[in-house]
Amino acid sequence: MVIGAPRQSGIPVEEPDHELELDEAIINSLPAHCKVLSVGYGGPSAWIKTIKIVVKLEDGSIAKFFKKGASGTIGADMMKGAFEADKALYEAIPDRVPKPVAWGTYVSNPDIHFYMAEYVEMGDDAPSPQNGPPLFWSFTLLAWAIPGGKFGFHVTHIWPTRSTIHDFLGSPLGSADESLFDREESVNGPDEALTKLRTAYFDKAIPRYLRPLESDGRSITPCLIHSDLWLGNIKPRVSTGELCLFDSCAYWGHNEADLAICYNKRYKLGAVCSMEYTRQANEADPDASFVKDLEVEFDERNALYAIKFHVLLSIMYLDRDDGYFRKVLMDELRMILEKIEFDSGISKPEPPASSEVKSPSHL
């Protein structure tokens, strides 16, 4: 269940009276002939109270499961999207992702939907700029081994964004961001200046910085990316210390897109992580076409991909009366568009001063 989210967030919230009681659909998703030993909250979370289910299997061993949920049509899309995204990642890197088990709808209440996975004990240590890039890097290499050839994803994602499959790099980004901008306007209301910036972003910025990657004989190989790698979604396994990924919004896209979150200064990986990623990419395969692409307008593309996160923050934090996150979003859009207008060859865009303002500590 989505429990404990801010009252004015843009996330569908469901607060049933008996969140620790297992619905028949949950019981049917557990291993056959197991015995439920305990049901409790799974630990702290920025947005929800997750549920931890401990069972005794038929052979006497103990298994643990994680459950979360949401309500309504959007909630169903979110839970299905979470399952399908984690399933795709698990198939690529099973040692890095908790194994997804099931998603479905409650028998007792058809308006409530759930997602269930194996429960993994994780620590709270955040990755450093030095051990963060190997995670991105190894993830990219492993994901490239999966056949695909198209950009996008086959189901709606968690926020949600529309499910789309495309031949070209910029198409799924535009479709997903359009969906997020629509959501942002629905929860914050229309704004004429933002509408103009939004239109220019889709008409000018995305083609300007992504189209060159797929022209004059160049191409980008789609790889499966997590797409929401802020520090809250990267934790070490207690048992091994290896970094574990969760809460993904995976899709087939450009490998650089997972680095966009490093561009935002509120996330501690920061520019150091991006620089380390670039260094390791060059050392691993200096002749690879995608490595060469890093050297040309890498920072501009990083800023472009980061727009998604600014839109998401404006959606989620409605309880700030000053409209801080929408202002940051508009500043970032202006910065990208002003570079195109005045000198598209300048590198390394600097975030506007407003993004330096202290924001909630868990971002």
pLDDT at 191: 95
Same domain membership, residue 139 and residue 37: no
- Cα–Cα distance, 74 to 57 (Å, whole number): 34
Determine, yes or no, domain membership for 238. yes
Residues 6 or more apart whose CB falls under 8 angstroms from that of 104 comprise 25, 29, 79, 113, 114
pLDDT at 129: 58
Same domain membership, residue 170 and residue 46: no
The full length of the chain comes to: 363
Same domain membership, residue 136 and residue 52: no
Same domain membership, residue 243 and residue 278: yes
Residues 6 or more apart whose CB falls under 8 angstroms from that of 23 comprise 106, 107, 108, 109, 112, 114
Determine, yes or no, domain membership for 83. yes
- Cα–Cα distance, 161 to 172 (Å, whole number): 10
Same domain membership, residue 294 and residue 150: yes
| Domain CATH number, residue 159 | 3.90.1200.10
Determine, yes or no, domain membership for 252. yes
Nearest to 184 by CA among 316, 73, 304: 316
Q: What is the 3-state secondary structure (H, E, C) of 128-172?
A: CCCCHHHHHHHHHHHHHCCCCCCEEECCCCCCCCCCEEECCCHHH
H helix or E strand, kind and range, residue 113: strand 112-118
Determine, yes or no, domain membership for 175. yes
Contact 220, 257 (CB under 8 A): no
Q: What is the pLDDT along the chain (363 residues), one digit of tens a residue?
A: 233 333 344 444 444 445 678 999 999 999 999 999 999 987 655 556 689 999 999 999 999 999 998 899 888 988 999 999 999 889 888 888 999 999 999 999 999 999 999 999 988 776 665 565 556 655 555 555 455 577 888 888 765 455 566 666 655 566 678 888 998 999 999 999 999 999 999 999 998 988 888 788 777 778 888 888 777 788 888 888 888 888 888 888 887 888 887 776 666 666 667 777 767 666 665 555 555 555 678 888 888 988 988 998 898 887 666 889 999 999 999 999 998 875 544 444 554 443 333 333 333
What are the Cα distances from residue 210, in Å, to 74, 220, 257? 30, 10, 11
Same domain membership, residue 155 and residue 114: no
Same domain membership, residue 289 and residue 140: yes
Structure tokens at 105: 């709808």
pLDDT at 204: 92
Say how many Å lie between the first and final Cα of the chain, rounded: 22
**Which residue has tokens 């061993």?**
61
Same domain membership, residue 303 and residue 186: yes
Same domain membership, residue 234 and residue 184: yes
pLDDT at 353: 43
pLDDT at 343: 52
Determine, yes or no, domain membership for 154. yes
Q: Could you give the angle at which helices 72-92 and 132-144 cross, rounded to 10 degrees?
A: 90
pLDDT at 6: 34
> Cα dihedral angle (136, 96, 11, 46), rounded to 10 degrees?
-90
| Domain CATH number, residue 28 | 3.30.200.20
pLDDT at 348: 46
Q: How many domains is the chain partitioned into structurally?
A: 2
Same domain membership, residue 332 and residue 208: yes
122: DSSP letter: B
pLDDT at 351: 46
Q: Which of 91, 118, 145 is the last residue of a domain?
A: 118
Q: Count of CB atoms within 10 A of residue 166's CB?
A: 16
250: DSSP letter: -
Contact 224, 136 (CB under 8 A): no
Determine, yes or no, domain membership for 84. yes
Same domain membership, residue 143 and residue 103: no
**73-86: burial string, b at 16+ Cβ within 10 Å, e else:** ebbbbbbbbbbbbb
pLDDT at 50: 83
pLDDT at 152: 80
pLDDT at 362: 33
96: DSSP letter: T
By residue range, what is the domain housing residue 215?
Answer: 132-356
DSSP reduced 3-state for 203? helix
H helix or E strand, kind and range, residue 39: strand 35-41
DSSP reduced 3-state for 75? helix
Determine, yes or no, domain membership for 203. yes
Same domain membership, residue 239 and residue 108: no
Residues 6 or more apart whose CB falls under 8 angstroms from that of 252 comprise 148, 150, 151, 152, 153, 172, 222, 223, 224, 225
Q: Which of 87, 118, 149 is the last residue of a domain?
A: 118
